[in-house]
Amino acid sequence: LRFQLVRPGVYQLTDQEVNVFLLDCQGLTLIDTGHPSSGEVIVEALRELGHDPSLVSRILLTHVHPDHAGSAAFLKKRLGAEVLCHRFDAELLEEGVAVRKSFGPAPGLLNRLLYRAFIARAAMEIPKATVDRFLSEGEEVIGGIRAIHTPGHSAGHLAYLWRDTLILGDAALHVGWLRAGIATENYDQALQSIQRLCDFKFEVACFGHGPPITKNARRRFRARQWWSGPNPSGALNFHAPLSP
Ligand SMILES: [Zn+2]
Ligand SMILES: [Zn+2]
Protein backbone atom coordinates (compact mmCIF):
# COMPACT_ATOMS: atom_id res chain seq x y z
CA LEU A 1 0.00 0.00 0.00
CA ARG A 2 1.16 3.53 -0.78
CA PHE A 3 -0.28 6.76 0.50
CA GLN A 4 0.13 10.37 -0.48
CA LEU A 5 -1.17 13.69 0.76
CA VAL A 6 -2.98 15.13 -2.26
CA ARG A 7 -4.26 18.26 -0.57
CA PRO A 8 -4.48 19.40 3.05
CA GLY A 9 -7.01 17.01 4.56
CA VAL A 10 -7.07 14.64 1.56
CA TYR A 11 -5.03 11.44 1.55
CA GLN A 12 -4.92 8.97 -1.31
CA LEU A 13 -4.28 5.36 -0.28
CA THR A 14 -3.41 2.96 -3.09
CA ASP A 15 -3.67 -0.81 -2.83
CA GLN A 16 -3.63 -3.19 -5.81
CA GLU A 17 -3.96 -0.34 -8.35
CA VAL A 18 -7.06 1.07 -6.69
CA ASN A 19 -7.25 4.40 -4.87
CA VAL A 20 -9.17 4.98 -1.68
CA PHE A 21 -9.44 8.47 -0.17
CA LEU A 22 -9.35 9.65 3.40
CA LEU A 23 -10.87 13.06 4.08
CA ASP A 24 -10.23 14.87 7.33
CA CYS A 25 -13.79 16.15 7.46
CA GLN A 26 -16.03 16.01 10.56
CA GLY A 27 -14.20 13.06 11.98
CA LEU A 28 -12.71 10.99 9.20
CA THR A 29 -14.48 10.16 5.96
CA LEU A 30 -13.39 7.29 3.74
CA ILE A 31 -14.25 7.32 0.06
CA ASP A 32 -14.33 3.79 -1.40
CA THR A 33 -12.89 0.68 0.21
CA GLY A 34 -10.76 -1.16 -2.36
CA HIS A 35 -10.78 -4.86 -3.18
CA PRO A 36 -12.21 -7.45 -0.78
CA SER A 37 -8.64 -8.14 0.40
CA SER A 38 -7.78 -4.46 1.05
CA GLY A 39 -9.71 -3.96 4.30
CA GLU A 40 -7.05 -4.79 6.85
CA VAL A 41 -4.40 -2.98 4.78
CA ILE A 42 -6.51 0.20 4.91
CA VAL A 43 -6.92 -0.09 8.68
CA GLU A 44 -3.12 -0.41 9.00
CA ALA A 45 -2.63 2.63 6.78
CA LEU A 46 -4.94 4.69 8.99
CA ARG A 47 -2.80 3.78 11.97
CA GLU A 48 0.39 4.61 10.10
CA LEU A 49 -1.05 8.03 9.33
CA GLY A 50 -1.54 8.50 13.06
CA HIS A 51 -5.32 8.12 13.06
CA ASP A 52 -7.42 6.03 15.36
CA PRO A 53 -9.37 3.87 12.85
CA SER A 54 -12.48 4.12 15.00
CA LEU A 55 -12.60 7.86 14.15
CA VAL A 56 -13.76 7.01 10.65
CA SER A 57 -17.45 7.87 10.93
CA ARG A 58 -18.60 7.23 7.38
CA ILE A 59 -17.74 5.43 4.19
CA LEU A 60 -18.87 7.05 0.94
CA LEU A 61 -18.92 4.82 -2.11
CA THR A 62 -18.53 6.10 -5.66
CA HIS A 63 -20.06 2.84 -6.90
CA VAL A 64 -20.11 -0.82 -5.86
CA HIS A 65 -17.74 -2.58 -8.26
CA PRO A 66 -15.55 -5.14 -6.44
CA ASP A 67 -12.45 -2.92 -6.55
CA HIS A 68 -14.29 -0.03 -4.82
CA ALA A 69 -16.84 -1.63 -2.52
CA GLY A 70 -15.03 -4.95 -1.97
CA SER A 71 -14.16 -4.11 1.63
CA ALA A 72 -17.28 -2.10 2.44
CA ALA A 73 -18.78 -4.85 4.60
CA PHE A 74 -15.49 -5.50 6.41
CA LEU A 75 -14.70 -1.83 7.06
CA LYS A 76 -18.24 -0.97 8.07
CA LYS A 77 -17.99 -3.52 10.86
CA ARG A 78 -14.34 -2.99 11.73
CA LEU A 79 -14.55 0.82 11.90
CA GLY A 80 -18.13 1.04 13.11
CA ALA A 81 -18.84 3.41 10.23
CA GLU A 82 -21.95 4.18 8.21
CA VAL A 83 -22.05 3.29 4.51
CA LEU A 84 -23.49 5.83 2.09
CA CYS A 85 -24.05 5.54 -1.64
CA HIS A 86 -26.60 6.11 -4.39
CA ARG A 87 -29.80 4.12 -4.18
CA PHE A 88 -29.24 2.46 -7.58
CA ASP A 89 -25.94 0.92 -6.50
CA ALA A 90 -27.08 0.27 -2.93
CA GLU A 91 -29.48 -2.35 -4.34
CA LEU A 92 -26.52 -4.27 -5.74
CA LEU A 93 -24.37 -4.00 -2.64
CA GLU A 94 -27.16 -5.29 -0.45
CA GLU A 95 -27.47 -8.33 -2.69
CA GLY A 96 -23.72 -8.84 -3.02
CA VAL A 97 -23.89 -8.46 -6.79
CA ALA A 98 -21.31 -5.93 -7.86
CA VAL A 99 -21.75 -5.64 -11.60
CA ARG A 100 -24.83 -5.21 -13.81
CA LYS A 101 -25.33 -7.32 -16.92
CA SER A 102 -25.21 -4.20 -19.09
CA PHE A 103 -21.60 -3.51 -18.03
CA GLY A 104 -19.27 -4.03 -20.99
CA PRO A 105 -16.34 -2.59 -22.91
CA ALA A 106 -16.46 1.00 -24.14
CA PRO A 107 -16.19 1.46 -27.93
CA GLY A 108 -12.81 0.90 -29.56
CA LEU A 109 -10.44 -2.02 -29.99
CA LEU A 110 -8.12 -0.94 -27.17
CA ASN A 111 -11.00 -0.85 -24.70
CA ARG A 112 -12.16 -4.28 -25.81
CA LEU A 113 -8.67 -5.72 -25.32
CA LEU A 114 -8.20 -4.09 -21.92
CA TYR A 115 -11.65 -5.22 -20.87
CA ARG A 116 -10.91 -8.80 -21.85
CA ALA A 117 -7.52 -8.76 -20.12
CA PHE A 118 -8.41 -7.03 -16.86
CA ILE A 119 -12.13 -6.85 -16.25
CA ALA A 120 -14.02 -9.72 -17.87
CA ARG A 121 -12.53 -12.34 -15.56
CA ALA A 122 -12.73 -10.30 -12.37
CA ALA A 123 -15.04 -11.43 -9.58
CA MET A 124 -18.58 -10.14 -9.98
CA GLU A 125 -19.58 -10.74 -6.38
CA ILE A 126 -18.78 -8.82 -3.23
CA PRO A 127 -19.52 -9.32 0.44
CA LYS A 128 -23.01 -7.94 1.09
CA ALA A 129 -23.32 -4.78 3.13
CA THR A 130 -26.32 -2.77 4.24
CA VAL A 131 -26.40 0.87 3.23
CA ASP A 132 -27.26 3.35 5.98
CA ARG A 133 -28.08 6.34 3.83
CA PHE A 134 -28.88 6.90 0.16
CA LEU A 135 -27.28 9.89 -1.50
CA SER A 136 -28.80 11.74 -4.40
CA GLU A 137 -27.70 14.28 -6.96
CA GLY A 138 -26.41 17.55 -5.59
CA GLU A 139 -26.83 16.56 -1.97
CA GLU A 140 -24.45 17.84 0.67
CA VAL A 141 -23.28 14.72 2.46
CA ILE A 142 -21.56 16.33 5.42
CA GLY A 143 -19.03 19.10 6.06
CA GLY A 144 -19.34 20.55 2.56
CA ILE A 145 -18.82 17.24 0.70
CA ARG A 146 -21.20 17.28 -2.24
CA ALA A 147 -22.43 14.20 -4.11
CA ILE A 148 -22.69 14.50 -7.90
CA HIS A 149 -24.62 11.80 -9.73
CA THR A 150 -22.47 10.66 -12.64
CA PRO A 151 -24.21 7.65 -14.24
CA GLY A 152 -22.73 5.73 -17.15
CA HIS A 153 -19.96 3.62 -15.64
CA SER A 154 -22.68 2.42 -13.30
CA ALA A 155 -26.23 3.71 -12.89
CA GLY A 156 -25.62 4.83 -9.32
CA HIS A 157 -22.14 6.24 -9.78
CA LEU A 158 -21.36 9.30 -7.65
CA ALA A 159 -18.44 11.73 -7.77
CA TYR A 160 -17.68 13.81 -4.68
CA LEU A 161 -16.64 17.43 -4.57
CA TRP A 162 -14.97 18.77 -1.44
CA ARG A 163 -13.52 22.26 -1.44
CA ASP A 164 -11.43 22.40 -4.64
CA THR A 165 -11.02 18.64 -4.96
CA LEU A 166 -13.13 16.41 -7.18
CA ILE A 167 -13.05 12.68 -6.45
CA LEU A 168 -14.18 10.90 -9.58
CA GLY A 169 -14.17 7.19 -8.80
CA ASP A 170 -14.42 5.53 -12.21
CA ALA A 171 -16.29 8.38 -13.93
CA ALA A 172 -13.00 8.98 -15.76
CA LEU A 173 -9.63 7.22 -15.77
CA HIS A 174 -6.15 8.66 -15.37
CA VAL A 175 -4.08 5.62 -16.23
CA GLY A 176 -1.59 6.56 -18.92
CA TRP A 177 -3.69 9.55 -19.90
CA LEU A 178 -6.95 11.24 -19.00
CA ARG A 179 -9.79 9.31 -20.59
CA ALA A 180 -13.28 7.91 -20.24
CA GLY A 181 -13.65 4.45 -18.72
CA ILE A 182 -12.58 1.21 -20.36
CA ALA A 183 -15.98 -0.25 -19.52
CA THR A 184 -19.40 1.21 -18.85
CA GLU A 185 -23.07 0.33 -18.57
CA ASN A 186 -23.93 3.19 -20.89
CA TYR A 187 -21.09 4.89 -22.74
CA ASP A 188 -22.95 7.97 -24.00
CA GLN A 189 -24.25 8.61 -20.53
CA ALA A 190 -20.71 8.26 -19.13
CA LEU A 191 -19.50 10.96 -21.54
CA GLN A 192 -22.39 13.22 -20.61
CA SER A 193 -21.49 12.78 -16.95
CA ILE A 194 -17.92 13.86 -17.67
CA GLN A 195 -19.21 16.88 -19.54
CA ARG A 196 -21.38 17.79 -16.57
CA LEU A 197 -18.45 17.51 -14.19
CA CYS A 198 -16.66 20.15 -16.27
CA ASP A 199 -19.28 22.65 -15.07
CA PHE A 200 -18.15 22.36 -11.46
CA LYS A 201 -15.24 24.35 -10.09
CA PHE A 202 -12.29 22.18 -9.12
CA GLU A 203 -8.53 22.50 -9.13
CA VAL A 204 -7.61 18.94 -8.15
CA ALA A 205 -8.97 15.70 -9.63
CA CYS A 206 -8.60 12.33 -7.89
CA PHE A 207 -9.35 9.06 -9.64
CA GLY A 208 -10.19 5.50 -8.66
CA HIS A 209 -7.28 4.44 -10.84
CA GLY A 210 -4.14 6.42 -11.62
CA PRO A 211 -2.46 9.44 -10.05
CA PRO A 212 -4.29 12.64 -9.12
CA ILE A 213 -4.13 15.80 -11.21
CA THR A 214 -3.09 18.38 -8.64
CA LYS A 215 -3.25 21.58 -10.69
CA ASN A 216 -5.65 23.10 -13.21
CA ALA A 217 -7.65 19.88 -13.31
CA ARG A 218 -10.83 21.48 -14.60
CA ARG A 219 -8.92 23.22 -17.35
CA ARG A 220 -7.46 19.86 -18.37
CA PHE A 221 -10.90 18.28 -18.38
CA ARG A 222 -12.29 21.07 -20.49
CA ALA A 223 -9.38 21.08 -22.91
CA ARG A 224 -9.69 17.35 -23.48
CA GLN A 225 -11.66 16.46 -26.58
CA TRP A 226 -14.06 13.93 -25.10
CA TRP A 227 -16.19 13.85 -28.21
CA SER A 228 -16.83 15.91 -31.29
CA GLY A 229 -20.56 16.26 -31.69
CA PRO A 230 -23.23 13.88 -32.80
CA ASN A 231 -22.53 11.26 -35.43
CA PRO A 232 -25.23 10.23 -37.93
CA SER A 233 -26.82 7.79 -35.47
CA GLY A 234 -27.09 10.51 -32.87
CA ALA A 235 -24.51 8.89 -30.59
CA LEU A 236 -21.52 10.83 -29.39
CA ASN A 237 -18.16 10.30 -31.03
CA PHE A 238 -15.16 9.81 -28.86
CA HIS A 239 -11.63 10.18 -30.13
CA ALA A 240 -9.28 8.30 -27.87
CA PRO A 241 -5.71 9.42 -28.35
CA LEU A 242 -3.17 6.68 -28.98
CA SER A 243 -0.66 8.21 -26.58
CA PRO A 244 -0.74 10.56 -23.61
ZN1 LIG B 1 -15.86 0.55 -11.64
ZN1 LIG C 1 -12.48 0.72 -10.60
> 80-136: per-residue pLDDT in tens?
999 999 999 999 999 999 899 999 999 888 889 989 988 888 878 899 999 999 999
Cα-to-centroid distance, 9 and ligand 1 (Å): 25
**What residues flank ion ligand 1 with Cβ within 5 A?**
65, 170
**Whether pLDDT at 201 is above 50:** yes
Confidence of residue 227 (pLDDT cuts 50, 70, 90): low
Cα-to-centroid distance, 34 and ligand 1 (Å): 11
Cα-to-centroid distance, 130 and ligand 1 (Å): 19
CA–CA distance, 181 with 105 (Å, rounded to integer): 9
State if pTM tops 0.75: yes
Cα-to-centroid distance, 153 and ligand 1 (Å): 6
**Whether pLDDT at 232 is above 80:** no
Question: What secondary structure letter does DSSP report for 169?
Answer: T
DSSP 117-146: IIITTS--B------SEEE-TT-EEETTEE
Cα 168 to Cα 40, 55, 109, 219, 230: the distances in Å are 24, 24, 24, 15, 25
Cα 68 to Cα 32, 116, 163: the distances in Å are 5, 19, 23
CA–CA distance, 92 with 79 (Å, rounded to integer): 22
> 132-185: per-residue pLDDT in tens?
999 999 999 999 999 999 999 999 999 999 999 999 999 999 998 898 989 999
> 46-89: per-residue pLDDT in tens?
999 999 999 999 999 999 999 999 999 999 999 999 999 999 99
Cα 186 to Cα 40, 64, 65, 86, 205: the distances in Å are 33, 16, 15, 17, 23
Picking from 110, 116, 106, the residue whose alpha carbon sits closest to that of residue 237 is 106
As beta bridge partners, residue 19 has 14
Q: Which residues lie below 8 Å from residue 193, measured CB to CB, with a gap of 6+? A: 149, 150, 151, 152, 153, 157, 171
Cα-to-centroid distance, 172 and ligand 2 (Å): 10
Cα-to-centroid distance, 232 and ligand 2 (Å): 32
Cα-to-centroid distance, 149 and ligand 2 (Å): 16
Cα-to-centroid distance, 26 and ligand 1 (Å): 27
